[in-house]
Structure 1
Amino acid sequence: MRDMHEGMDLTTLRWFLVVAELGHVTNAAAELRVSQPGLSRAIARLEGELDVPLFDREGRGVRLSGYGRIFAEHARRLVAEEEAARRALAQAADPEHGEVVLAFLHTQGVWLVPELLRGFRQHHPQVTVRLIQDRAVTLEEAVREGRADVAITSPRPAAAGLAWAPLITERLQLAVPADHRLAGRRRVRMAELAGEPFVGIKRGGGLRTILDDLAAGAGFRPEIAFEGEELQTVRGLVAAGLGVALVSPAPPGNEPHEGVRHLGIADAGATRTIGLTWVEARTRPPVVDGFRRFVLSRVEELSGAPGYN
């Protein structure tokens, strides 16, 4: 395969990515407002330059080949780098105008993210913040591929090239129905929960991994009665009696969910550190760097909230 930077223009890379997303050359041409023959020739030239087939034909559509899937990862990064550079140049003269793309965990949308945005907008009202909400693994991909500038996530990303700074550490709790046998307790040990049905976050979520690890340390495997993505839903199902749940602390100032009691967990490891991640080597527009610095400046203040370290 030839060096992918040789003779390769970013317009063709963008066209390639649109075809990969839509799985259809004609539809991609309509989306891009170019002719279908012209788009087909551009893709053929790209395949010729790389000396590999990027797509497999499938009926009237196409899908990425094994080579295409590998190339798409690199193409997204190249396009993201070029877009970041353009944004940086456009905003260099006025860092108070521009856009920040912030990705964050579902569980941080109730208190932490709104608290940060409220403070940031007081000082930078002309900056637009676009939000992406998802699971940790998807957030990491969004930052690596340039679809997000920064992400508030947990655990610390393992991918090379991602910087990460801790913001807060949550002291996790056990949510139980108000009439549960343990509802009158202040703290419990995980070993006391063997055999209990759990309402859990879906696999791939940080809280689910911590639950599995805590249960394994206590000598049992949690029986999952239901899997969800948002803690508000999880707490509602706990109130309905479907099971117990490992949850982050209730946001400061929020009333506890009706029908649910929150207990401390005595086991070591019943905590979760939430941090900010970004690509260290990527060119950051001044507005993005300003947002990053603002978030990191709030660490001490955020750590003083009840239920957080």
Structure 2
Amino acid sequence: MNTEELRWFAALAERPHMTAVAKDMHISQPALSRAIGRLEAQLGVELFDRRGRVVALNHHGRRYLAYAQRALDELDAGAAALSDLADAERGELRLWFLHTLGSWMVPALVGAFREDHPNVRFRLAQRGGAPLVEALDDGEADLLMMGPRPAGTRWAWHPLVTEPLLLAVPPNHPLAGRRSVWLREVAREPFVTLHADTALRAVIDDLCRRAGFEPRVAFEGDEVATLRGLVAAGLGVALIPPQRVAAEEVTTATPHLRVRDEGAERELGMVWDPERSETPVVRGFREFVLRSGRKLCKVAMVHKPA
């Protein structure tokens, strides 16, 4: 059997008249009759009771029709999905990003792109650095927004913006009234920081080592917001990116001090697999970020919370 025979069978089941259905399907009545006969021969049962050119579904036909219709529906859905993939205005893009980029970078890029492409669907996911790269490697993600650049030469990388790392201290800390600090001044302080397998943690550990000490880790977490809250509770200090949320969402008055040590920053950018074939939507968004991403990110980066 083939798809055409299934469609002819379903049409004849809905309108049980050989001549009329043949005309609708743009085939001859004998060709339609032979096709139904082939289908019945393959199934080993008759599907219709025949009275000349008028036919009627029998109990075998009624049972089979439900399965045939589901199969046709699935085939049509698959064709529609492929059509979406080939449509630069209606496809889907799987964009994964670091937790800390969800309040400014990703909204800025996605929002600007959707102004001209409102029907593109985004499937978004927030993860740490290592899971992001794994998702790209496994084919679960099309593009990543992260930083710093992942290790290895396989991935394509486009830098977008360099973000400073600040020292968050408890409100009653002796350094709380300062505007800037050298890392060596907190060498004996407990640190709350991200897990050791995160890209940002590697940057933090390297900064501390260059300042002449290994950080005394009091807590390892998954999200910067958690670290900020624990600093406010007095558990330790933390090297973290700036806070970029609306004023009403800020629940702590944690001082954030500029770090004077060289390299107290992380580079953020877009990552993709240059060897993977791209849908028009993925290619369009990637080219949009290559063209306009740096400007959009810089504007979002300096935007003052409401």
The two structures have a TM-score, normalised by structure 1, of 0.67
Determine whether 1:302 maps to 2:297. yes
- Aligned mates of 2:85, 2:190 — CA distance in 1: 54
Q: 1:210 and 1:257, CA in 2 relative to 1: closer, same or farther beyond 3 A?
A: farther
Please give the per-residue CA displacement for 1:156-196, whole angstroms capped at 9, x wherever unaligned.
12233310100111011011111111001000001101110
1:87 shift after superposition: 10
- The residue that corresponds to 1:95 in the other structure is 88
Aligned to 1:33: none
CA contact (8 A) 1:91 1:287 kept: no
Find the counterpart in structure 2 of residue 241 from structure 1.
Answer: 234
- How many angstroms does 1:110 deviate by? 2.1
Q: Can you list the C-alpha shifts for 1:234-282, whole angstroms capped at 9, x where unaligned?
A: 1111111111111101227557652300100000110100110001121
Please list every run of 5 or more consecutive structure 1 residues that lacks an aligned counterpart in the other structure: 1-85
Show the counterpart of 1:130.
Answer: 123
Structure 2 equivalent of residue 57 of structure 1 = none
Partner deviation per Cα, 1:131-175 (whole Å, 9 max, x = no partner): 122111221121122110000111212233310100111011011
The C-alpha deviation readout for 1:41-80, integer Å capped at 9, x for no partner, is: xxxxxxxxxxxxxxxxxxxxxxxxxxxxxxxxxxxxxxxx
Show the counterpart of 1:203. 196
Partner of 1:144: 137
Gaps of 5+ in 2: 1-78
CA distance in 1, matches of 2:107, 2:247: 13
Q: Distance in 2 between matches of 1:254 and 1:115?
A: 18
Residues 181 and 206 of structure 1, relative CA distance in 2, 3 Å threshold: same
3-state SS in 1 of match to 2:94: strand
Task: Return closer, same or farther for 1:254/1:208 CA change in 2, 3 Å cut-off.
Answer: farther
Preserved contact between residue 98 and residue 127 of structure 1 (Cα < 8 Å): yes
Give the aligned partner of residue 283 of structure 1: 277
Distance in 1 of aligned mates of 2:245 and 2:172: 25
1:221 partnered with 2:214: yes
Aligned residue identity for 2:273: V
Identity %: 48
CA RMSD of aligned residues (A): 2.3
The one-letter amino acid paired with 1:176 is V
Larger helix share, 1 or 2: 2
C-alpha distance in 2, partners of 1:100/1:156?
21
Which one of the candidate residues 104, 111, 135 is aligned to 1:118?
Answer: 111
* AA of the residue aligned to 2:261: D
2:7 paired residue number: none
Following TM superposition, by how much is the alpha carbon of 1:107 offset from its aligned partner in structure 2, in angstroms?
Answer: 1.6
> How far apart in 2 are the matches of 1:294 and 1:87?
26
1:298 counterpart letter in structure 2: G
Max Rg structure: 2
**Deviations, residues 278-304 of structure 1 (Å, cap 9, x unaligned):** 011211000011111222312123224
Distance 1:93 1:253, change over 3 A: same
Per-residue CA deviations over 1:9-61 (Å, capped at 9, x if unaligned) read xxxxxxxxxxxxxxxxxxxxxxxxxxxxxxxxxxxxxxxxxxxxxxxxxxxxx
* 2:196 partner letter: R
Quickly say closer, same or farther: Cα 1:166–1:302, change in 2 above 3 A: same
- Residues 270 and 95 of structure 1, relative CA distance in 2, 3 Å threshold: same
Which residue of structure 1 lines up, in the alignment, with residue 171 of structure 2? 178
| Counterpart residue type for residue 92 of structure 2 | E
Q: How many residues align?
A: 223
Instruction: Give 3-state SS (helix, strand or coil) of 1:243's partner.
Output: coil
